[in-house]
Structure 1
Amino acid sequence: MMRNPIHTNVNRVLSYYGMNLKKGRSNYYLSYYSQGETSVIKNNNPRDAIREAINRQGDRELYIQLINQLRFLKLNPKKQLYFSEIFILDPRYTTRPSPPLGTLKDAYDFACEMRWNSRNIKDHKATKRKAENVIKHFGYSTPPSDITPRRLVDYVGYLQAKNLSNATINRNLSKLRVVLRHAVMLDYIPHVPDFPWQKYSNARTRILSKEEEEKVISFFHKKGNTLMADFVMVAIDTGARVGELMRLTWSDYRLDSESIFIRNSKNDEFRTVPLTKRSRHVFKRRYQNMCSPEENIFNLTQDRLSWQWKVMKKSLGFDKEKEFVPHMMRHTCATRLAELDVNDSKRMLWIGHKTPVMTARYTHMTSTSLKSVVEIIDSQA
């Protein structure tokens, strides 16, 4: 005789008591955990199987609680075995056991151990420090269960009061979400709450003009900072992401083909980028001081780059421009390739995008490049 199928809410309730019910062809199979072992009971009546499991465990309190609940175990219109809505909506019958005690600091430490480490992130110290600042706001000893959607909205308001951009707010929320996801892994909370992500546009319109590029490079040369001057030139010529260049080692430099091999890209794909005449000169000069193939070509961290860029930005009078950031060097490269009429497929390979849509987002034609269009229109007049 076929048994009735089991609705998902049955095992959702039974799991509170360490039990799981499965349907066989002619019997039900109830597994339960007791005294360090898992046992299975076979019975053609699910209520009898549950009663037998309770009797075997000898837990009188559990026996009374579950036996009283079995009267709600019925068949729904689809002939599925389920606990009726009256039972599900009654908090007296759906009290979950208390979750293990744990704090945000415990979850943060676990996230540092599992994700924010030197194996996964080169500049892991900066990431951990920024995440710790977020945790500090809520309190190290705060239980993860106290991080509710309401508190997250209040936190966003706190960050907005500090005049932080929506992108920066989302980065702070992202770090907190990673911590809470690890809290779920530790069984501190059943799930991660909904986050109030802020809307913002990824598209940047700011690029470096030739004159501004010369000013930036000249500034670093005058300060004796050859490392940053070289970094800026290579970033503009190759269009590589800042993180990709910082992760480059001498084993990624192809001296014979005069190119670099980018292996740790954002979209987890590899690509080879040929070097321009200026970049070839930079690499050959720096290659003479190489100590090891595993040595980073540009010995920079995100913090050091940000600080050097901030000093330059203020000194040259760009401190009021929010979009004057290191990533603009990548936009500059993409735009110059477009102005040179390099086709979409080649630009995608050079920049490292999967779709032409992404390449188009990073390309901003200047008014100078449109002069040829004016000439075409004038010729038709």
Structure 2
Amino acid sequence: MTLDADKLVSDFGIPGMRSGYEVNYCFGQQGPTGVVKETSLAELFHRYADILWDEGHHKYNVKAFIGELDEILLGARFSTFSQDLLDNLIGALRKRGNSNATINRKMAALSKLLRKAYKMGDVHSLPEFRRQKERAGRLRFLEADEEEALFREIGIRSDYFLQFSIFLVDSGARLGEAIGLKWNDIHEGRATFWITKSGRSRTVPLTARAKEVLNALANRSPGPFTAVDPQKYRAAWNAAKLDAGLGEEEDIVPHILRHTCASRLVRGGIDLRRVQMWLGHQTLTMTMRYAHLATHDLDMCVPVLERHLAS
């Protein structure tokens, strides 16, 4: 039985789907050249997910991404993945209201899965993945008074979540990195994060108040924040945000603590290369989002421009 291209267009909004897809997208085992090994995105994820992604929040997101793409394709089985099909998937996501940044994340997961399938012989050809252009959005971070108000409300709800928040903003750690921290990862006032987005470990020195937080949690095992439930933390965060008068701003999510850490380093005169190392960014391009905060680097330009006035 062939995949109904017209139904994809009408039911799921995939633009420009043509009947030519019936050759490579079919549910039967016989193709025009004989027996064709076919699979689906859901099957590929089940087969390779544990190899490609570590357990955690990122893997949970990837599962949702692949599940959505498989749903758009009606669970179709395939032996090749054409460029037109990829472009049509992107079009369908955009029609659903996905931003380019969101599409890029979903395509990154799909690309990784298909590359593995190609190496293993499950897919006979791959399309070219082109990164969608992302708009440079406003980078939000907390000012000192905003942090004080927000942390006060978080503390009313949970001392533990307050301690977690303080550690996040002073270390720049992602939620998963801090939750995965074990006591043997902390030595001589430094914390080493092994479970990172890039897969590369990094070590950062700790502030005085971050050390105080860790000392207060010394009786917890196997790590200071392993008992943090991300969903409960976000629920407490959202409630605290409302009572702190910040409820109108969608950008104020727990990840803003990492942005706040970075902004304070840059505004304090730390060069971007060191900020890159602190945050664990794979490329300097990612750190350049904070470059506009380094206004002190431009102060030396003013005397040069004013020289002609003195002559």
Question: TM-score w.r.t. structure 2 length?
Answer: 0.70
Q: 1:337: which partner in 2?
A: 265
In the TM superposition, residue 310 of structure 1 has moved relative to its aligned partner by 4.6
Q: 1:135: which partner in 2?
A: 70
List aligned pairs for 1:313-332, cutoff 5 A: 313=241, 316=244, 318=246, 321-332=249-260
Query: 1:129 and 1:179 mapped to 2: Cα distance?
Result: 13
Q: 1:226: which partner in 2?
A: 159
Q: Judging changes above 3 Å, is the alpha-carbon distance between structure 1 residues 129 and 309 closer, same or farther for their aligned structure 2 residues?
A: farther
Query: Match of 2:139, as an amino acid?
Result: T
Query: 2:137 and 2:39 mapped to 1: Cα distance?
Result: 40
Task: Work out which of the residue numbers 180, 189, 197 in structure 1 matches 2:123.
Answer: 189
Q: 1:246: which partner in 2?
A: 179
Asked if 1:272 is matched to 2:200, the reply is no
Q: Structure 1 stretches of 5 or more lacking a match?
A: 1-94
Q: Deviations along 1:88-117, whole A, 9 cap, x unmatched?
A: xxxxxxx8554213333321211224324x
Query: Match of 2:220, as an amino acid?
Result: M
Q: 1:205: which partner in 2?
A: 139
Query: 2:107 and 2:272 mapped to 1: Cα distance?
Result: 35
Q: Is the 8 A contact 2:81 2:125 kept in 1?
A: no
Q: Structure 2 stretches of 5 or more lacking a match?
A: 1-31
Q: Deviations along 1:313-356, whole A, 9 cap, x unmatched?
A: 55556555454343332222222123333355654543345676
In the TM superposition, residue 209 of structure 1 has moved relative to its aligned partner by 0.7
CA-atom RMSD, angstroms? 3.8
Task: Work out which of the residue numbers 275, 291, 310 in structure 1 matches 2:221.
Answer: 291
- Identical-pair percentage: 26
Query: Match of 1:243, as an amino acid?
Result: G
Q: Counterpart of 1:144 in 2: which secondary structure?
A: coil
Query: Match of 1:137, as an amino acid?
Result: I
- Which has the bigger relative contact order, CA under 8 A and spacing at least 6? 2
List aligned pairs for 1:153-164, cutoff 5 A: 153-164=87-98
Q: Deviations along 1:94-150, whole A, 9 cap, x unmatched?
A: x8554213333321211224324xxx233344542443233223223x113475433
Q: Is the 8 A contact 2:82 2:126 kept in 1?
A: no
Q: Counterpart of 2:36 in 1: which secondary structure?
A: coil
Structure with the higher strand share, 1 or 2: 1
Q: What is the number of equivalent residue pairs in this alignment?
A: 275
Q: 1:171: which partner in 2?
A: 105
In the TM superposition, residue 237 of structure 1 has moved relative to its aligned partner by 1.0
Q: Judging changes above 3 Å, is the alpha-carbon distance between structure 1 residues 180 and 354 closer, same or farther for their aligned structure 2 residues?
A: closer
Query: 1:161 and 1:342 mapped to 2: Cα distance?
Result: 42
Q: Is the 8 A contact 1:144 1:183 kept in 2?
A: no
Query: 1:108 and 1:329 mapped to 2: Cα distance?
Result: 32
Larger Rg: 1
